[in-house]
Chain A
């Protein structure tokens, strides 16, 4: 069975600072990993996904994530936070059949001016 842990339910950074949102996973098969973002009153939007093609994955809005098998991690980073990045971020892992996502608890990112 898959599981995802996101360390830090709330993260606060200053505008222009590095964003680091942590995700650790557990999976019995090679994982497919995803980061979704949820803006207020909106659905979940895919930021990026890891599908074993490359360990460093680039996504939309300047975000990227690095898959580290030895650490079972898939942390999300952005070099310079923007006010518009304030949202909730969810890490998720797919089962092997691809018909079910297991989500982490989410991390709310706040960006201070």
Chain B
């Protein structure tokens, strides 16, 4: 069964460093998403991406964040200068279509620890 994969599973970085979190969505999916979950808190939407453009973003997704689909398979989230409060589990998701009835398929997550 096709699945969303994410690498690395755990990333530790120093405050102020840049990190890139990588995701490989399901191959025939067209819509891509990032969410995060700070320990003990809700899963929060960050950004959605379609046709090489951001289609929706939350207020969390500020200038420190960017997304890219550098090739036909990867979808990345970059944090330019990490802060302590960026420590969280980051989930990538993808869906075939858009519209509220379309299921988003989630990856296993990358745990980011900022020291």
- A residues lining the B interface (CB < 8 Å): 31-32, 34, 36, 41-46, 49, 51, 90, 92, 94-106
B108 → A minimal CB distance (Å): 4
Interface residue? B100 (CB, 8 A): yes
Which one of A44, A49, A100, A105 lies within 8 Å of B45 (CB-CB)? A100
Q: Which of B78-115 contact A (CB under 8 A)?
A: 91, 93, 95, 97-109
A99 adjacent to B56 (CB under 8 Å): yes
A98 adjacent to B100 (CB under 8 Å): yes
With a 10 A CB-CB cut-off, give which of B43, B58, B97, B98 has the most chain A CB atoms: B43
Task: For A43, list chain B residues within 8 Å (CB).
Answer: 4, 91, 106-109
Interface residue? B44 (CB, 8 A): yes
With a 10 A CB-CB cut-off, give which of B56, B106, B107 has the most chain A CB atoms: B106
B108 adjacent to A99 (CB under 8 Å): no
The number of chain B residues touching the other chain, given as a range, is 20 to 34
Q: Which of B22-70 contact A (CB under 8 A)?
A: 31, 33, 35, 41-45, 48, 50, 55-56, 58
- What 19 new A-B contacts, CB under 8 Å, besides A43-B107, A96-B100, A103-B42? A31-B100, A43-B4, A43-B108, A44-B43, A44-B93, A44-B106, A45-B106, A49-B103, A90-B43, A92-B43, A94-B100, A95-B100, A97-B55, A97-B56, A97-B100, A99-B48, A99-B55, A103-B35, A104-B42
Q: How far is the CA of A43 from the CA of B104 in the complex (A)?
A: 11
Task: For A98, list chain B residues within 8 Å (CB).
Answer: 95, 97-102
Task: For A102, list chain B residues within 8 Å (CB).
Answer: 45
Task: For B33, list chain A residues within 8 Å (CB).
Answer: 99-101
